[in-house]
């Protein structure tokens, strides 16, 4: 209960901060419609928000309504229109209870490198889901850490991700029955490449990514950012199965060094032959080191008491900006190699290139 209250407080703080930060637009124009909008520094990116409605699926958290999720589309503002199919697409799934907007830095970094990033909120599960028209749907979860809720959340997230891929494919074909394409910049639907799709996620969003790799062959590469390989209270199927799709995992050091994690899932994961897999960890980091808090919380502010656990709300003691930069480089390297066919040598021996990194085996 204490951990849940702390998480609610942290996310509420992010929402308040986001409301203040929303006056700072991205470098390229587009109405964001989100709570949290951070400046894109010197990166030339644009942002649009959409509501995607799956008319063929009932919302598991609010029965009787079609499943509807808001997404943030972050894209390189200087993309070449005209049907060149030059832009790979990357889906993003946030942590449990956490809004997609708490990962704006990661999305804008990838967009500045030539990707279209689609960040999803999973309506009814997030503490507060904000839609482009301003309405807010609060969490519908009453027992967040029960096995039933965790499984339901993960199953719903996997279906959300596949629906977003369906939408990307439809828009690229010119099919747009709900008229959402008009909310995107001219030519973007024709510029995205539906044959090059990746996905990453943080925490349960990372676990979601691993399951999507198993279930949806349209996703070509994935990054699990500090997600425990659990499906409710049991090991995720990825632990004993090779999806045949490249998977990178980036962990906080407490997670990587946890004997419980090794016993419950990582041991079997490493024992299973894989087509391509790397697991790296960053020294002196915490679970929240992979959110925007790592950039905006001053180094001198200590972690909340009692959060020194693998899945707690710690930022650790590693240099904040070095953590952000290292994580961004590893995530981008993964998609550069497997979506753009770039060498990305940092993937092969990250420990020799980045002082904070060590390999987990």
Residue 1 pLDDT > 80, yes or no? Answer: no
Overall average pLDDT of the 64-76 stretch: 97
Q: Which residues of 162-186 are buried (b: 16+ CB within 10 A; e: fewer)?
A: bbbbbbbbbbbeeeeeeebbeebbe
- Given a contact cutoff of 8 angstroms between Cβ atoms, the answer to whether 24 and 38 are in contact is yes
CA-closest candidate to residue 131, choices 180, 69, 78: 69
> In the structure encoding, which two tokens stand for residue 60, read together?
């598991």
CA-closest candidate to residue 132, choices 220, 54, 73, 219: 73
- pLDDT, position 73: 97
What is the spatial distance between Cα 182 and Cα 359, in angstroms, rounded to a whole number? 45
- pLDDT, position 84: 86
Place of tokens 């650790």: 316
Overall average pLDDT of the 155-172 stretch: 97
Res. 43 pLDDT band, cuts 50 70 90:
low
CA-closest candidate to residue 264, choices 217, 238, 228: 228
Overall average pLDDT of the 52-76 stretch: 96
**Is the pTM higher than 0.85?**
yes
Residue 234 pLDDT > 90, yes or no? Answer: yes
Which tens digits make up the pLDDT trace of 237-265? 999 999 999 999 999 999 999 999 999 99
Residue 157 pLDDT > 90, yes or no? Answer: yes
Question: Does residue 315 sit in helix, strand or coil?
Answer: coil
Q: Provide the edge-to-edge strand list for the sheet that holds 277-282.
A: 45-58, 66-76, 116-120, 87-93, 192-202, 221-225, 247-252, 277-282, 357-359
For residue 158, CA distances in Å to 125, 216, 219, 245, 270 come to 13, 9, 12, 16, 24
Res. 6 pLDDT band, cuts 50 70 90:
very low
Q: DSSP letters of 77-90?
A: TT---SS---EEEE
Q: Within 13 Å and on the Cβ side, how many CA atoms surround 329?
A: 20
What is the spatial distance between Cα 279 and Cα 270, in angstroms, rounded to a whole number? 9
Angle formed at CA 17 by CA 207 and CA 50, multiple of 5 degrees: 60
Residue 14 pLDDT > 60, yes or no? Answer: no
Which tens digits make up the pLDDT trace of 177-205? 999 999 999 999 999 999 999 999 999 99
Residue 280 pLDDT > 50, yes or no? Answer: yes
Res. 306 pLDDT band, cuts 50 70 90:
low
CA-closest candidate to residue 90, choices 245, 223, 278: 223
Radius of gyration of the chain (CA): 19
- pLDDT, position 39: 45
- pLDDT, position 168: 97
> In the structure encoding, which two tokens stand for residue 312, read together?
């707690």
- pLDDT, position 303: 82
CA-closest candidate to residue 289, choices 306, 312, 268: 312
- pLDDT, position 307: 64
Instruction: Tell me what the pLDDT averaged over the chain comes to.
Output: 88
- Given a contact cutoff of 8 angstroms between Cβ atoms, the answer to whether 350 and 359 are in contact is yes
- pLDDT, position 145: 83
Overall average pLDDT of the 68-73 stretch: 97
Which tens digits make up the pLDDT trace of 116-130? 999 999 999 988 999
- pLDDT, position 304: 73
């Amino acid at each position: 209960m204490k951990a849940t209250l702390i998480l609610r407080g942290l996310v509420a703080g992010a929402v308040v901060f986001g409301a203040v930060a929303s006056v700072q637009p991205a470098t390229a124009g587009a109405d964001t419609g989100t709570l949290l909008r951070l400046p894109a520094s010197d990166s030339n990116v644009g942002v649009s928000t959409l509501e995607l409605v799956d008319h063929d699926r009932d919302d598991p958290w609010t029965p009787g309504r079609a499943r509807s999720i808001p997404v943030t589309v972050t894209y390189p503002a200087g993309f070449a229109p005209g049907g060149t199919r030059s832009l790979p697409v990357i889906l993003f799934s946030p942590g449990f209870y956490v809004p997609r907007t708490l990962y704006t830095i990661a999305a804008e970094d990838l967009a500045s490198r030539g990707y279209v990033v689609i960040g999803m909120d999973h309506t009814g599960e997030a503490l507060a889901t904000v839609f482009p028209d301003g309405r807010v749907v609060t969490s519908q979860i009453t027992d967040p850490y029960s096995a039933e809720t965790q499984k339901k959340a993960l199953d719903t997230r996997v279906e959300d991700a596949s629906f977003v891929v369906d939408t990307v494919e439809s828009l690229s074909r010119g099919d747009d029955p709900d008229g959402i394409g008009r909310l995107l910049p001219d030519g973007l639907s024709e510029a995205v490449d539906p044959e090059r799709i990746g996905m990453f996620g943080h925490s349960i969003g990372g676990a979601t990514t691993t399951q999507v790799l198993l279930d949806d062959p349209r996703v070509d590469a994935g990054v699990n950012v500090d997600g425990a390989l659990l499906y409710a209270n049991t090991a995720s199927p990825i632990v004993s199965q090779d999806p045949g799709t490249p998977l990178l995992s980036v962990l906080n050091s407490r997670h990587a060094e946890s004997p419980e994690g090794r016993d419950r899932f990582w041991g079997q994961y490493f024992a299973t032959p894989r087509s391509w897999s790397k697991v790296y960890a960053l020294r002196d980091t915490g679970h929240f080191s992979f959110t925007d808090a790592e950039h905006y919380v001053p180094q001198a502010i200590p972690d909340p008491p009692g959060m020194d656990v693998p899945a707690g709300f710690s930022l650790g003691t590693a240099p904040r900006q070095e953590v952000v930069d290292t994580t961004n480089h590893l995530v981008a390297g993964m998609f550069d190699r497997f979506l753009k066919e770039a060498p990305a040598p940092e993937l092969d021996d990250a420990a020799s290139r980045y002082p904070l990194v060590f390999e987990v085996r």
